Amino acid sequence: MRKLTAPHQTLGNLDAEAAARIIVAATDVALVLDADGTIRDVAFGSSEIPLDGDAKWVGQSWSDIVTSDSRPKVEALLKDAAEDAAPRWRQLNHPASDGADVPILYSAVRTGRRGRVIALGRDLRAVSSLQQSLMDAQRSMEREYSRLRHAETRYRLLFQLASEAVLIINAATMKVVEANPTAMRLLNEGGRRTTAARTFPYGFDADGLRSVQTQLATLKATGRSEDVVVRSADGQARHVVSVSLFRHETEAFFLVRLLPLHGDPRAAVVTPAQSRLLQVVERLPEGLVVTDPNGKILTANMAFLDLAQLGSEEQARGELLSRWLGRPGVDLEVLLSNLRQHGSVRMFSTEVRGQFGSTSKVEISAVSVPEGDPPCLGFTVRNVSHFGEGRGTAELPRSIEHFTELIGRVPLKDLVRDTTDVIERLCIEAALELTNDNRASAAEMLGLSRQSLYVKLRRYGLSDEQETDESELADRSP
């Protein structure tokens, strides 16, 4: 502590009023006490301190207005002041109206000839709040650290005891970061005791190494990859390699799972007949899409990719079929509902919207494969746009049964409009037949002007444009 060197010169004749103002301005609480600790005057530098009975403090002992654990500190402060010892700051707690104690940091100084003591106090609630927040944060960090430690222990235990071979590969260096005991037994070569720091892939034959390298490169470029079947280096065992990509902090890692194939080694091999069938399906002029039971695309052939204006199958995989199909949220739901009830759907009319805005009229047939592993749905998408511009006639109702089939697949306004067109065309054809193709008589029979009849003939393709134009000129000539 450092005192003023010349208080008489610098402070001058400082009177009691000035001293009182200085004390109130410099502190939050000020007490004027007798030598025995009885309060004679009280001042507060802030009105926000929630102290109980502060208006009745005058005349009470200082020890009576603090909590029981603070009373020894009061005696120590009074003793230091009586001995003119260097002032020491001590925290005292006052009971408050809201139940929480109010911490005040006090220092006591003896003044005057009558042994009066001035206790100067600073409000510690802000500091106490910060301390409490710090303690809460520390406890929260300890709980989180404990939770992470337990999670890591469980992860390590599962990793070590898993029957599947699992490796973690650094995607940048292709070095093995971690491998469980099953992976070590499966891939160790030449008596090596560890797989750590080895460059992956290894332990497979030449074709398997190329397949896994391609799989990893595809996953790194597109975020997706298909499982591959590989043989061990000695050709005795076969494994399914499944890879996923994840990030930790700023680095990317591959999680590689190796599943042994048991039983007939030819079970996972595609037969020549199956291979030919797959090639035919891929090259079909009609779109073929396989989805999960919720309509998410698993695979699609090139014909569908052309209709949807997609560059690769990766752009479609994982997306809902409704993104490109008909009315969003309507047509796919109708298809899925019918597949759940009946197992198959035939000749469902809708349209496919291309990625860049084109639309194509299509007919869809679909089938459910609930016994698949996993269950899936198959859709064939047949482009019928070339059957005619605008509304094709293939879906116009030709009978009550056909009309009933269209309900739920075609909006009511389209059904009414198309049925009206069919009736109108049949009436025009009947009138032309009755009048031996006499356009003027047919128009009169139908109650139409000749110009209106020519427009409808052109609309329904019953007369070419040149013939209609010549007829119109003949009608207008005198």
pLDDT digits (tens, 9 = 90+) for 78-113: 888 888 888 888 989 888 767 778 888 999 988 876
Q: Is residue 416 predicted with pLDDT exceeding 80?
A: no
Higher-confidence residue: 17 or 322? Answer: 322
pLDDT score recorded for residue 388: 46
pLDDT in tens, 355-370: 888 888 888 999 998 8
pLDDT over 60 (residue 266): no
Task: Confirm or reject CATH 3.20.170.30 for domain 7-123, answering yes or no.
Answer: no
pLDDT band at 406 (very low <50, low <70, confident <90, very high): low
Higher pLDDT, 124 or 195: 124
Q: pLDDT at residue 390 above 60?
A: no
Higher pLDDT pick, 460 / 6: 460
Closest to 256 (Cα-Cα) out of 161, 190, 175: 175
The CATH number of 413-476, from 1.10.10.60, 1.20.120.160, 2.40.50.140, 3.10.580.10, is 1.10.10.60
pLDDT score at 267: 44
- Round to whole Å and give the CA distance between 307 and 287: 8
The pLDDT value recorded for residue 268 is: 46
- pLDDT tens by residue, 219-263: 888 888 888 888 888 777 788 888 998 888 888 999 998 888 764
Taking the C-alpha atoms of residue 191 and residue 199, their distance in angstroms, rounded to an integer, is 17
Where residue 273 falls among pLDDT bands split at 50, 70, 90?
low
Residues 162-260: name the CATH superfamily: PAS domain (3.30.450.20)
Q: Is the pLDDT of residue 269 over 50?
A: no
Residue 199 has pLDDT above 50, yes or no: yes
Percent of the chain with pLDDT over 90: 5
CA atoms of 290 and 4, how far apart (whole Å): 90
Task: Please report the pLDDT score of residue 473 as a whole number.
Answer: 47
> Of the given ranges (114-128, 141-155, 168-182, 463-477), which has the lowest mean pLDDT?
463-477
Task: Give pLDDT, residue 220.
Answer: 86
Do domains 7-123 and 272-387 share one topology? The answer is yes
pLDDT of residue 141: 92
Distances from the Cα of 277 to the Cα of 199, 261, 272, 301, angstroms: 38, 24, 9, 13
Question: Which CATH number applies to 272-387?
Answer: 3.30.450.20
Q: Assess whether pLDDT exceeds 80 at residue 446.
A: yes
The domain ranges of the chain are: 7-123, 162-260, 272-387, 413-476
Q: Are residues 209 and 201 in contact, defined by beta-carbon separation less than 8 angstroms? A: yes
Residue 227: Cβ within 10 Å count: 11
Does residue 295 or residue 409 have the better pLDDT? 295
pLDDT at 433: 82
Render pLDDT for 36-57 as a digit per residue (tens, 0 to 9): 889 888 888 776 776 766 678 8
pLDDT of residue 106: 92
Check whether 400 has a pLDDT greater than 60. Answer: no
Q: Burial of 31 by CB count in 10 Å (0-12 exposed, 13-18 middle, 19+ buried)?
A: buried
Count CB-CB contacts under 10 A for residue 350: 21
